[in-house]
């Protein structure tokens, strides 16, 4: 513990780092869920043998026309559970890694160190969040199927029960490898670039929401470009059906090979616009909510009026 003028400086307890990390992700998900649905529909477009959508706008118009506005929030319960598991774990672990680094090296971590910590936090979080990820993808893609082929999960709890009953508990971790791989890439780029951009923008902006927004916006763009191919592979594996004991894809590499052969290289970034629109605001809102919750906790609970919310 650090001492300031002979008085022990209070710090945010570890359990609150998890709580605030998960809460920030859940709040952001409530805002960007429609974009996640559009991105998912674009990524699985073509898996039924035809190209269902030409653009994100066409997805949106068809969903609104055929399914109604509330269908944009299909899978929200799974999205919230995903954030409660994945984001809680990754942001909590990352905050603890950050505190450990600062305690042992008495300095802020370098970009390389930040990216390394992000990889570990992402992998840890993705493993625990994979079951909710499977439920989320299936619930968002269900309405595009013929009525007789739909799974019709009532909510994320119903999805878990039926997946375990019909396919076995291992099915909850279907697509885990690309999910973990994507999370490692996302966290390496997202957390590393966010810290780097904050440092760069500090020369022009004071600590506060404008600085956090600017850094998160750039971080979201870089993260989208880097993670989309693995995100596409994850999405297709998690929603695929096993017909007569034979799965549609054997793994991540198989998905990417088939997409390259049948749909072209640019299909790797299919759904880029809604993914960016989803990733950008989600990154922004997650970090801004997290920074503000940290600031509020330190001010109102710990009584630290001078704390930098980033620290």
126-158 pLDDT, tens digit per residue, is 998 999 999 998 998 888 778 888 888 999 999
CA distance 43 to 268: 9
pLDDT of residue 7: 43
Per-residue confidence (pLDDT) for residue 1, from 0 to 100: 42
CB 89 within 8 A of CB 129: yes
Contact between 111 and 126 (Cβ < 8 Å):
no
pLDDT tens sequence for the chain (311 residues)? 444 444 445 777 878 878 887 888 889 899 889 988 888 888 777 665 556 677 778 889 999 999 999 999 998 999 999 989 987 888 778 878 888 888 888 787 887 888 888 899 889 999 989 999 999 989 988 887 788 888 889 999 999 999 999 999 999 999 888 889 888 888 888 777 877 888 888 888 887 778 877 887 888 788 888 888 888 888 888 888 777 778 888 888 898 998 889 888 888 888 788 777 777 677 778 877 888 888 888 888 887 765 554 44
Q: Are strands 242-243 and 246-247 parallel, antiparallel or unpaired?
A: antiparallel
pLDDT of residue 268: 87
Domain segments of the chain as ranges? 16-300
Give the pLDDT confidence score for residue 157 in this predicted structure: 94
Let me know if 225 is exposed, middle or buried by CB neighbors in 10 A (0-12, 13-18, 19+): middle
- Write down the CATH superfamily of domain 16-300: Mitochondrial carrier domain (1.50.40.10)
4 DSSP β-pair partners: 7
- Looking at residue 173, its pLDDT comes to 93
Q: What is the dihedral of CA 99, 103, 105, 110, to 10 degrees?
A: 10
């Amino acid at each position: 513990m650090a001492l300031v003028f002979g008085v022990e400086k209070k710090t945010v307890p570890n359990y609150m780092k998890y709580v605030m990390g998960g809460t920030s992700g859940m709040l952001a998900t409530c805002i960007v869920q429609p974009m996640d649905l559009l991105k998912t529909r674009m990524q699985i477009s073509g898996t039924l043998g035809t190209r269902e959508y030409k653009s994100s706008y066409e997805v949106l118009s068809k969903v609104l026309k055929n399914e109604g506005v509330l269908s944009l929030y299909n899978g929200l319960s799974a999205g919230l559970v995903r954030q409660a598991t994945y984001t809680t774990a990754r942001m909590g672990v990352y905050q603890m890694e950050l505190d450990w680094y600062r305690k042992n090296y008495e300095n802020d971590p370098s970009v390389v160190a930040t990216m390394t910590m992000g990889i570990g936090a992402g992998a840890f979080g993705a493993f625990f969040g994979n079951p909710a990820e499977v439920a989320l993808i299936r619930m968002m893609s269900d309405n595009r199927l013929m009525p007789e082929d739909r799974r019709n999960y009532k909510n994320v709890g119903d999805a878990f029960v039926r997946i375990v009953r019909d396919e076995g508990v291992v099915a909850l971790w279907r697509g885990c490898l690309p999910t973990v791989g994507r999370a490692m890439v996302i966290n390496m780029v997202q957390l590393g670039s966010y810290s780097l951009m904050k440092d760069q923008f500090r020369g022009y902006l004071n600590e506060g929401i404008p600085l956090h927004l600017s850094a998160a916006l750039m971080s979201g763009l870089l993260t989208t470009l880097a993670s989309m191919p693995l995100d596409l592979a994850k999405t297709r594996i998690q929603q695929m059906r096993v017909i007569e004991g034979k799965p549609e894809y054997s793994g991540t590499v198989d998905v990417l090979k088939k997409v390259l052969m049948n749909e072209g290289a640019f299909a790797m970034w299919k759904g880029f616009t809604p993914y960016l629109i989803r990733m950008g605001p989600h990154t922004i809102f997650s970090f801004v909510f997290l920074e503000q919750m940290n600031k509020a906790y330190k001010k109102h609970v710990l009584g630290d009026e001078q704390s930098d919310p980033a620290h």
